């Protein structure tokens, strides 16, 4: 079968031949891959950035956002049957820590987790993949067209979920279901994670401001406006004037992965506010920040700053729920996040496809 590989640390991307994987355990599922999403992580890996090959090799099969059709199941599998559409999650347990042992490898405590297509485990840019039922999620029939967005949606939903759990635990009167209602959230960076985060925030009752540096009439602001959000052009508005122009911001959802902006924007956060970072900038990009002013503000205003990565199976289920809700409330919006679909043979074009009208590029197998 065909697979797309890279040599971590290099810019080599190749289509290669590998043996088709087969089911060998009763709890395994075999998927025929139909769609793979390309994200910033894939592009960083393709530029020689953060990634590891499986132990004993120097080559990694790329791809971690996926959708596939079930073609075979082990004898103990009950979640899916051949013909169903399903996704596999990204992380694999370290096998040692409490979070991994209760199905929360997104919170792995040892740091010895692996990630398919990213860290020491081959990914999904392949014609077929086999994995365990516990990492599999059936995609309902009416969401099949959007199933490839489940992984990025789960990442966005986890970030919002973490913020709500923290706010509900620490602020008198705040509840998990109620805290966002009527409050203002600022999403920084309107790529897929930011826009899916904006959807999750709107569905939970927040007013959403979204910031990017693209033209107001281009696809990213259009998606934001279609869900009732308001666009801020970061080329025209400085981070330290946002609160003067738009009032108290209760939650910042960072999805730009730009280090300086990530810290400058803290200025906009209001009293008791929470800031969730999801962007992963290159670690070698230092930035000058107003450290004293930021620290003073965060202490005097009881602010929280957290990082959030990956997602649990529960977040994947929440993601499918949110996607179904979004489809009902704002028909066509999720579809418009997928801006380009290319055959897998055009992987290099797909990886290089980063113009300002691009949101999510998908490759098909």
Residues of this chain that bind ligand BGC (CB under 6 A) = 39, 41, 64, 90, 115, 118, 151, 155, 309-310
Closest CB to ligand BGC among 184 and 312?
A: 312
Closest CB to ligand BGC among 167 and 278?
A: 278
Residue whose entry in the numeric block shows the structure tokens 């925030």? 201
Closest CB to ligand BGC among 115 and 212?
A: 115
Buried b (16+ CB within 10 A) or exposed e, 287-325: eeeeeeebeebbeeeebbbeebebbbbebbebbbebbee
CB of 114 to ligand BGC, least distance (A): 10
Structure tokens at 243: 């609160």
Structure tokens at 224: 């934001």
- DSSP 3-state helix, strand, coil percentages of the chain (rounded to 5)? 35, 25, 40
CB of 64 to ligand BGC, least distance (A): 6
Closest CB to ligand BGC among 188 and 239?
A: 188
Cα gap 114→51, rounded to integer Å: 10
Angle at 247 between CA 241 and CA 251, to 5 degrees: 95
Residue in 121, 143, 118, 139 with CA at minimum distance from that of residue 130: 121
CB of 177 to ligand BGC, least distance (A): 26
Closest CB to ligand BGC among 52 and 243?
A: 52
CB of 118 to ligand BGC, least distance (A): 5
CB of 311 to ligand BGC, least distance (A): 7
Structure tokens at 365: 């197998």
């Amino acid at each position: 079968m065909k697979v797309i590989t890279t040599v971590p640390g290099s810019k080599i991307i190749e289509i290669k031949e590998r043996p088709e994987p087969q089911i060998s355990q009763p709890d395994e599922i075999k998927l025929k891959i139909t769609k793979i999403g390309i994200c910033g992580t894939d592009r960083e890996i393709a530029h020689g950035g953060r990634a590891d090959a499986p132990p004993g090799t120097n080559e990694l099969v790329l791809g971690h956002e996926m959708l596939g059709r079930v073609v075979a199941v082990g004898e103990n599998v009950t979640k899916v049957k051949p013909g169903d559409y399903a996704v596999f999650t990204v992380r694999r347990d370290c096998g040692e820590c409490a979070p991994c042992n209760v199905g929360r490898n997104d919170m792995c405590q040892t740091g010895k987790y692996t990630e398919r297509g990213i860290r020491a485990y081959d990914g999904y840019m392949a014609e077929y993949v086999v994995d365990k039922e516990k990492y599999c999620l059936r995609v309902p029939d009416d969401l099949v067209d959007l199933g490839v967005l489940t992984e990025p949606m789960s990442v966005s939903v986890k970030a919002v979920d973490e913020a709500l759990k923290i706010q509900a635990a620490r602020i008198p009167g705040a509840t998990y279901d109620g805290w966002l209602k009527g409050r203002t959230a600022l999403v920084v960076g309107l790529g897929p994670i930011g826009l899916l985060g904006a959807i999750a925030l709107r569905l939970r009752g927040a007013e959403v401001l979204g910031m990017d540096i693209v033209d107001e009439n281009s696809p990213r602001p259009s998606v934001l406006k279609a869900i009732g959000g308001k666009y801020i052009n970061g080329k025209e508005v400085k981070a330290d004037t946002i609160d003067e122009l738009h009032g108290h911001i209760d939650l910042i959802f960072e999805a730009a992965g730009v280090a300086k902006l990530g810290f400058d924007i803290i200025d906009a956060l209001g009293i008791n506010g929470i800031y969730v970072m999801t962007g992963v900038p290159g670690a070698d990009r230092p930035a000058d920040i107003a450290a004293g002013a930021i620290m003073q503000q965060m202490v005097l205003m009881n602010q929280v700053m957290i990082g959030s990565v990956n997602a649990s199976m529960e977040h994947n289920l929440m993601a499918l729920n949110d996607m179904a809700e979004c489809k009902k409330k704002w028909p066509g919006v999720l579809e418009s996040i997928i801006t380009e679909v290319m055959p897998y043979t055009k992987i290099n074009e797909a990886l290089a496809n980063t113009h300002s009208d691009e949101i999510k590029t998908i490759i098909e197998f």
